[in-house]
Chains A and B, each alone.
Chain A
Amino acid sequence: MKYAYYPGCSLQSTAMGYDLSLREVCLKLGIELVEVPGWICCGSTAAHSTSHLLALALPIKNLQLVQKTGIKEMVVPCAACFSRFKFALDQCEKEPELKKQVEHILDEPFPQGISVLHPLEIFSRPEMLGQINQQIKNHTPELKLVCYYGCLLTRPPKVTKFDQCENPTSMDKILSTAGFFPQDWSYKTDCCGASLVFTETELSLKLIDKLITQAKLLDAEAIALACTLCHTNLDTRQKDLKKISGNDYHLPILFFTQLLGLGFGIEPKKLGLKKHLTSTEPVLKKFNR
């Protein structure tokens, strides 16, 4: 299987572990990722908050680059980028006038027939679950965790067409196939505050605190997630939480691909597990790493 791969900006810096582990895991599962040549930023929140047209033009520009590779399916691991691509495709499809304007801005015809996929959608296909099961080395230690999907993968469902909107289960399926113990919890798609953390830090900390407290109440030993900004917020802000709530959580926050990688017997360093600010040691110890 061959897919075009759009890492997005955060996977090259703050979420490097996601990029490293996704590449490693795909290698084991026989998935070939071809990085989109010269991809540019999707514009993220800043673009769609300032200009409707800019928010469409930037993702569509990237899809034109994909078209040149001749590959029809693109994998986007970052939930924010994933959402921007889905929105751009949806709006241009609904409003031909917007599509014309985007073509005018980019001086190139609209890319045809390219679909945008999240790794969770690929890994949760029945044949992939079978492969994951085969790749699991040894016995996965008993590890209770909660799967956190965040906002942008599932919402709005008409646009993202991802899993079930209020109770997604794809990550739970993947990780339980790999031998982990995902718990049922009600906060799968709650908001962590996203980019408000940079400017309205206290507000965002309250949301982060709620998520981690709720995970702890279920005795979760880690939170598994698939969004880069959720990871940054939950992983790097645990020290700040101590200041507002007095609680010292030390709850490891891992990308689901890092957990899969551990299950496949890949070196923690190759999965970027040493880059976290909240130590991942408690999880690694269970794997005798």
Chain B
Amino acid sequence: MWSVSEGWVSGLAKEIYFRSGENVYLCFQCQKCSSGCPVNFAMDYTPAQLLDAIRLGEEDLVLSSKTAWLCACCETCTTRCPQELDLAKVMDTVKMIAMERRIPALPKVFAFYDSFLSDLKIFGRIYELGLIMWLKLRTKEFTKDLGLGMEMMKKGNLKILPHFVRPREVQRIFSKVMELERGKK
């Protein structure tokens, strides 16, 4: 399976490969991903630099970098990569590794994912008010976008009461996924 090069291979690159099937050694640093990225201006390392760091085994740098967490999942890099690397998937995998080690570089973005999934697990569909509450409790930003939220409520754009759709089946999906993923490690 892993037949890229003989000799030393970075542990992080290997882990990413086994989790996602994406081989960062394919990258030849053409910079198409980084020049097309809509959020490159806010990143501490460009996507191409991050791939290079993965290749060099710079774990601390990769996992503490904001880059993967600022990825908007717009899929421009994945679309344009001449080596057909699915960079967005690499970014997701970096985030997964950081989350498992409990060191998300941007804790607020992590809080959003976590709040979203908690909400989904309980209701089966996203209950936006619930999601907002979860997120505010996690980030402690109680006043952020409060005015906007009120306006949305006034226009009837946020449902007051949640639906409960297939809660048992959804919880079962979550626990079976966890079971399988734990078995893989």
Tell me if A277 counts as interface (CB < 8 A to partner B).
Answer: yes
- Is there contact, CB below 8 Å, between A105 and B70? no
Kindly list chain A residues whose C-beta atoms are within 8 Å of the C-beta of B165: 38-40
Kindly list chain B residues whose C-beta atoms are within 8 Å of the C-beta of A109: none
Q: Bin chain A's interface residue count.
A: 35 or more
Bound CA–CA A201/B112 (angstroms): 13
Bound CA–CA A53/B183 (angstroms): 13
Q: Which of B1-31 contact A (CB under 8 A)?
A: 19-21
Question: In the complex, what's the smallest C-beta–C-beta distance from A105 to chain B, in angstroms?
Answer: 4
Tell me if A144 counts as interface (CB < 8 A to partner B).
Answer: no
- Is there contact, CB below 8 Å, between B155 and A277? yes
- What total of chain B residues lie within 8 Å of the partner, measured CB to CB? 57
- Is there contact, CB below 8 Å, between A156 and B113? no
- Is there contact, CB below 8 Å, between A236 and B152? yes
Give the interface segment out of A11-19, A169-177, A212-220, A246-254. A11-19
Tell me if B60 counts as interface (CB < 8 A to partner A).
Answer: no
- Is there contact, CB below 8 Å, between A193 and B72? yes
Q: Which residues of B are in contact with A by a Cβ distance under 8 Å?
A: 19-21, 38-39, 41-42, 70, 72-76, 78-79, 86, 92, 95-96, 99, 106, 108-109, 111-114, 116-117, 120, 124-126, 128, 135, 139, 144-145, 148, 151-152, 155-159, 163, 165-166, 169-170, 173-174, 176-177, 180-181
Q: Which residues of A are in contact with B by a Cβ distance under 8 Å?
A: 9-10, 12-14, 16, 38-41, 43-54, 57-58, 61, 83, 95, 101, 104-106, 151-152, 155-157, 165, 190-191, 193-196, 198-201, 203, 206-207, 236, 239-240, 274-277
> Please, could you name 18 A-B residue pairs with CB atoms under 8 Å apart, sorted by A?
A13-B126, A13-B158, A40-B125, A43-B120, A45-B73, A46-B117, A51-B177, A57-B173, A61-B173, A101-B180, A105-B180, A106-B173, A152-B74, A155-B79, A193-B39, A194-B73, A199-B109, A203-B42
